[in-house]
Every structure is written in C-alpha cells, then in structure tokens.
C-alpha cells in the first residue's frame, strides 16, 4: 500500500505538460490584450495629430465636415457640413480624417440599351389583384 501512495504523490507533484500549455495560453492572451491597447492608443494619437482646423473628417455615423473649431475641455468639435451650417459633435465620434484621395467617387450612371425589355415589376395594386385572383381558384 505504501508503494501505491508514493506513486500517486509523485504524479500529483510531478511535471504536467497541460499546466505549461495553459500558462503559455494565458501569457499569450495577456500579451495580445496589451498589444491591442497600444495599437488603439497609437491610432488615436495619429487621429488627434491630423485633426486640425480646416481638416476634413468623417464621423462614426457617416457625417462629413470640415473642422471649424475644437473644444478639448468639453470634448467637442464644431464641423461645417455645408456653407454656413455648423454642427457640434463629440470628439469621440470622429472616425477618420479624410484625405482628398479618400473622397467617395461620384456615382456612375448606368446606361440601358435601347432594345432592353421593359420592366416586369408589378405595382402593389397589381400584386394584390393577382393574389386575390389566385386565392379564388
């Protein structure tokens, strides 16, 4: 019986590779968290350095405008979205600074061939009439 107890104690106190794997996974997780936080801080600092009066920006909700005034103590930015139209947004709502190259392209008009078939879409009234007729059969 003493031999069996000795081997059980050796197994419990011995080297277990699963502990090493769990420790390595935990260390990797912590490393990735710190790295992500550092990247986020760097991106925010880059955005703040580019955001000066006269810069063209886009907000998180898709509003484009030109920075007219910054109020860092209140975390606000005044944007001119149209000539003479100013809005105030929270500075955290700024998604990115838009370069002249980032401007969205003008929509391209589609040209339809002259011999194209007419549209087969129904109006809502025609759809209701058709469904009522199908229900009667």
pLDDT tens digits, one per residue of 14-42:
778 899 999 999 999 999 999 999 998 89
At 113 the pLDDT is 53
CB count within 10 Å of CB 77 equals: 25
> How far apart, in whole angstroms, are the C-alpha atoms of residue 64 and residue 19?
52
How confident is the model over 45-87, as pLDDT tens digits?
A: 888 878 888 889 998 888 899 999 988 899 899 999 999 899 9
Using CB atoms within 10 Å of the CB of residue 98, give its burial: 0 to 12 exposed, 13 to 18 middle, 19+ buried. middle
Of 8-22, 103-117, 123-137, give the lowest mean pLDDT range.
Answer: 103-117
Mean pLDDT of 93-111: 65
* Backbone φ and ψ of 85, nearest 5°: -115, 110
At 72 the pLDDT is 85
At 135 the pLDDT is 77
The Cα-based distances of 35 to 28, 39, 42, 86 in angstroms read 10, 6, 11, 38
Residues across the chain: 137
The pTM score is 0.47
Residue 111 has pLDDT above 80, yes or no: no
The closest of 64, 63, 91 to 77, measured between CA atoms, is 91
Which structural domains are found in the chain, ordered by start?
A: 18-102 (2.30.30)
> How far apart, in whole angstroms, are the C-alpha atoms of residue 97 and residue 44?
11
> How far apart, in whole angstroms, are the C-alpha atoms of residue 13 and residue 7?
10
At 136 the pLDDT is 74
Higher pLDDT pick, 44 / 118: 44
Mean pLDDT of 79-97: 89
Residue 137 has pLDDT above 60, yes or no: yes
Output the six-digit token pair for 63.
């509003």
């Amino acid at each position: 019986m003493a031999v069996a107890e000795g081997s059980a104690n050796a197994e419990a106190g011995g080297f277990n590779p699963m502990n090493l794997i769990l420790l390595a996974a935990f260390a990797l997780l912590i490393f990735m968290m710190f790295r992500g936080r550092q990247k986020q801080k760097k991106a925010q600092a880059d955005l703040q350095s580019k955001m000066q009066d006269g810069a063209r920006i886009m907000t998180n909700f898709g509003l484009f405008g030109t920075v007219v005034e910054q109020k860092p103590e209140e975390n606000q930015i005044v944007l001119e979205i149209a000539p003479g139209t100013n809005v105030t947004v929270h500075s955290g709502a700024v998604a990115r600074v838009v370069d002249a190259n980032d401007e969205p392209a003008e929509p391209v008009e589609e040209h339809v061939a002259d011999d194209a078939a007419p549209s087969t879409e129904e109006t809502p009234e025609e759809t209701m009439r058709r469904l009522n007729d199908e229900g009667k059969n």
